[in-house]
Homo-oligomer: A and B are copies of this chain.
Amino acid sequence: MNNKKAVVLISGGLDSATVAAVAKDKGFDIYALSVNYGQRHSCELLAAEKTARQFSCVEHKFVSVDLSAIGGSALTDNIDVPQRDNGKQSVGIPITYVPARNTIFLSISLGYAEVLGARDIFIGVNAIDYSGYPDCRPEFIEMFQNLASLATKAGIEGNAIKINAPLIDLTKPEIISLGLSLDVDYSLTHSCYSPSSNGKSCGRCDSCIIRLKAFADVGVNDPIEYAKQ
């Protein structure tokens, strides 16, 4: 491989921890990027920091974008995160959807990759168990790839930056199995939309339910702490 630099978007969740392990396994030097977008819970960024550390990143940049200024999501605004006690899948696009989040994240990572002269970006989106977010679909990633080829100096010069989304077709249990085979330490990750003040996961929001079910399907204990299950 000629250019071993890769920008890896690390959110603190289990998907991005897995994708960082995949990039590392492919021999990339990891330049981690975490976006502080006005998350209501600082434990996400703390998890991002801990997650990145296990992959011996060359550097880890935190870029702040105050998406709470434009509002519109239960993850940045003072809107209650729905709890799911009845086991039913929620219908449509949930209120935890942050408008244009992945578009914004990928745009910033594109700028960072261009500055570094990196030719690869890794993002941990997946289209299955994706909570219904429009910007987690394969067609979205493909279109962003097209945009990246036009939007940058590198692209104009014939060196388009590649958007890698290696988890896009995997189920959550498959992602966890892949990560475990690459020695990901999932105790450092955080998925809960509604953690308690001491950082414990609620075990009841969509994100916790999906995570717990996936660990159960793999037959492994989820190593993080839950307030209740």
Which A residues fall within an 8 A CB radius of B?
33, 61-67, 69-72, 93, 97-104, 106-108, 110-112, 114-115, 134-135, 137, 139-140, 143-144, 146-147, 150-153, 155-156
Contact = CB atoms under 8 A, between A and B. Distances in A.
A134 B150 contact: yes
A103 B151 contact: yes
A114 B72 contact: yes
Majority DSSP secondary structure for residues of A touching B = helix
Nearest to A62: B69
This chain's copy number in the assembly: 2
Given A143-B146, A147-B143, A147-B147, A100 B67 contact: no
A206 B152 CA distance: 20
Contact of A111 (B101, B140, B155): B101
Contacts of A150: 134-135, 137, 139-140, 143
Given A63-B69, A70-B108, A97 B153 contact: yes
11 contacts: A61-B70, A65-B108, A72-B114, A99-B115, A99-B153, A100-B110, A103-B151, A104-B104, A134-B152, A140-B151, A144-B147
B70 A99 contact: no
B135 A140 contact: no
A67 B156 contact: no
